[in-house]
């Protein structure tokens, strides 16, 4: 299916178990080139090394004796070709290309020897680029783990935050393991031991749900994204809900806690810092007593809390479970003194600022390398870069496969995270 082929790379990521299709299928053989005609701008082009079947949204192409399958695949994936095919599509919501147009395209191709040189060159260069991207992804995952570990230790009381002076006499917050002598049983199995002066409270005694609706009032439309947080809607999408739907949207204000009910099990909480309206499928809460809402937004993302939210969510199946307010409110959680909550939040921001900057740099480097990869392929297959006479080592197929499998798993995880951002707005 289309979702099993990665855009612009052609990496195939098949799920475990059998795949069933609701539509007619097409057969393909090893070396055939598959081109996704639905939304061709996604550049779903691949060359399977096995026989199988695919959905009808793929065109199955077989190279002639004058053109190698590798060259045809790269040529079809070049940005120039994709843009040309995309300009021919019909339909607005689900634009498709058709074989009549694609089949009549005139694509220049070099000699067989030069095609082989192009194939060797691009395999070598793209494998280097893929290794770079893979290493950067691993770095990002390690940095995210480091960040979450810092958060987990301080919001759960495993470490206590103290304000101290560094060697330059500047005040700075530091965290130290909490002494066992300062701990007591929480009497909640999954919370374990906690600082003696911390409370354990049900969430309903800390937060109350708000049901203020937009109605005829004017508010900025907001969207809650996992990657960007709570931001103006048009930073993420260009298609706003209808005016009738907007009237049902909920008002949130600075100091509120926002929860995506369908994604609470994955830690979709944030402290509101801008006024606006959000999807009615979100829950908006205001604190009942003075507290740091930011502290609780960090706390509710920790592993044990997410486990509780998952068990308390109800619905018809995976992806459709909601955490309703009564179940959310019945869950016990930690509540340190408010001044300690504020210090914990300040410490987290202090310690994660450098980590966040490193993650942003790595993500930008990945983005630039992807752009370079696309431009390189386009320049080489159109003859703007002459690779004849350039000696490059052969890249073993098993090495390419290992890279693709490793990256495909990472891509799937990242894609799943991003897909959960706004699916339920």
pLDDT in tens, 109-130: 999 999 999 999 998 998 899 8
3-state secondary structure of 88: coil
* Three-class DSSP category at 190: coil
Same domain, 311 and 198: yes
69 and 170 part of one domain: no
HSE-CB at 273 with a 13 A cutoff on CA atoms is 9
| Paired strand residues for 36 | 58
Same domain, 334 and 210: yes
The answer to whether position 157 is within a domain reads: no
Query: 156 in a domain, yes or no?
Result: no
Q: Which of 291, 321, 338 is the last residue of a domain?
A: 338
Residue 4 lies in a domain: yes
How many whole angstroms separate alpha carbon 348 and alpha carbon 299?
Answer: 12
Q: Is the dihedral of CA 213, 219, 221, 227 positive or negative?
A: negative
Query: Would residue 56 count as lying in a domain?
Result: yes
Contact of 286 with 208, CB cutoff 8 Å? yes
Nearest to 395 by CA among 120, 184, 148, 158: 120
Contacts of 164 (CB under 8 A, 6+ apart): 171, 172, 173, 174
Burial 188-216 (b: 16+ CB within 10 A, else e): eeebeebbeebeeeebbebbebbebebee
Can you tell me the distance from the alpha carbon of 241 to that of 251, in angstroms, rounded to the nearest whole number?
A: 15
For the chain, residues with pLDDT lower than 50 are 405-406, 408-425
Angle of helix 79-86 relative to helix 338-381, nearest 10 degrees, comes to 90
**Total tally of structural domains belonging to the chain:** 2
Tell me, yes or no, whether 70 and 200 share the same domain.
Answer: no
Boundary of a domain, candidates 63, 79, 108? 108
- Domain membership of residue 117 (yes or no) is no
What pLDDT is stored for residue 341 in this prediction? 98
How many CA atoms within 13 Å lie on the side-chain side of 74?
27
273 neighbors 192 (Cβ within 8 angstroms)? no
Tell me the pLDDT tens digit for each residue of 224-255.
988 888 999 888 877 777 766 788 899 999 99
CATH code, 247: 3.90.220.20
Domain membership flag for residue 190: yes
Q: What is the pLDDT of residue 22?
A: 66
What is the distance between the alpha carbons of residues 358 and 364, in angstroms, rounded to a whole number?
10
Q: Say how far apart CA 131 and CA 386 lie, in whole Å.
A: 24
Distance of CA 401 to the CA centre of its chain: 23
State the Cα–Cα distance between residues 247 and 213, nearest whole angstrom: 7
CB 147 within 8 A of CB 356: yes
Give the C-alpha separation, 92 to 390, whole Å: 44
Residue from 173, 402, 200 nearest 299 by CA: 200
What's residue 422's pLDDT? 44
Instruction: Let me know whether 97 and 235 are in one domain.
Output: no
Characterize the bridge pairing of strands 25-28 and 52-55. antiparallel
Burial class of residue 176 (count of CB atoms within 10 Å of its CB; 0-12, 13-18, 19+): exposed
Which has the closest alpha carbon to 35: 95, 104, 85? 85
CA dihedral sign, ordered 78, 84, 86, 89: negative
Query: What is the model's pLDDT at position 418?
Result: 46
Same structural domain for residues 237 and 102? no
Please check whether residue 400 lies inside any domain of the structure. no
Task: Tell me phi and psi for residue 372, to 5 degrees.
Answer: -65, -40
Domain end (from 84, 108, 132)? 108
Q: Can you give the residue range of the structural domain that contains 198?
A: 165-338
Rounded distance, CA 323 to CA 309, Å? 7
Residues 6+ apart with CB under 8 A from 118: 70, 71, 74, 110, 380, 381, 387
> Has residue 12 been placed in a domain?
yes
């Amino acid at each position: 299916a289309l979702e099993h082929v990665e855009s612009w790379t052609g990496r195939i990521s098949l799920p475990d178990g059998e795949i069933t299709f609701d539509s007619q299928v097409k057969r393909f053989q090893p070396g055939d080139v598959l081109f996704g005609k639905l939304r061709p701008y996604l550049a779903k082009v691949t060359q399977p090394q096995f026989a199988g079947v695919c959905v009808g949204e793929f065109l199955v192409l077989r190279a002639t004796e004058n053109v190698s399958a590798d060259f045809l695949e790269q040529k079809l994936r070049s940005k120039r070709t994709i843009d040309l095919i995309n300009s021919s599509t019909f339909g607005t919501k689900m634009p498709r290309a058709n074989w009549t147009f694609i089949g009549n395209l005139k694509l220049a191709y070099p000699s067989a020897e030069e095609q082989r040189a192009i194939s060797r060159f691009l395999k070598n260069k793209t494998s280097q680029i893929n290794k770079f991207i893979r290493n950067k992804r691993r770095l990002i995952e390690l940095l995210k783990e480091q960040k979450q570990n810092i958060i987990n230790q301080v919001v759960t009381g495993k470490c206590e935050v103290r304000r101290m002076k560094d060697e330059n006499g500047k005040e700075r917050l530091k965290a130290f393991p909490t002494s066992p002598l300062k701990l007591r049983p929480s009497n909640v199995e999954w919370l374990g031991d906690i600082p003696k002066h911390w409370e354990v409270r049900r969430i309903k005694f800390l937060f109350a749900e708000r049901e203020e609706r937009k109605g005829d009032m004017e508010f900025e439309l907001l969207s809650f994204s996992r990657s960007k947080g709570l931001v103006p809607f048009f930073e993420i999408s260009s298609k706003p809900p209808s005016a009738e739907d907007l009237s049902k949207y909920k008002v949130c204000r600075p100091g509120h806690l926002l929860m995506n009910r369908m994604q609470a099990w994955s830690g979709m909480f944030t402290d509101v810092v801008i006024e606006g309206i959000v999807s009615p499928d979100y829950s908006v809460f205001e604190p009942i007593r003075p507290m740091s809402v930011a502290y609780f937004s960090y706390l509710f993302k920790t592993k044990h809390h997410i486990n509780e939210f998952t068990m308390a969510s109800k619905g018809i199946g995976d992806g459709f479970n909601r955490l309703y307010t009564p179940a959310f409110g019945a869950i016990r959680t930690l509540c340190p003194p408010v001044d300690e909550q504020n210090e914990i939040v300040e410490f987290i921001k202090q310690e994660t600022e450098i980590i966040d900057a490193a993650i942003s740099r790595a993500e930008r480097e990945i983005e630039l390398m992807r752009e370079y990869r696309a431009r390189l392929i386009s320049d080489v297959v159109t003859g703007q870069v002459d690779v004849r006479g350039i000696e490059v080592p052969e890249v073993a197929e098993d090495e390419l496969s290992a890279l693709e499998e490793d990256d495909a798993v990472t891509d799937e995880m990242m894609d799943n995270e991003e897909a959960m951002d706004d699916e339920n707005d």
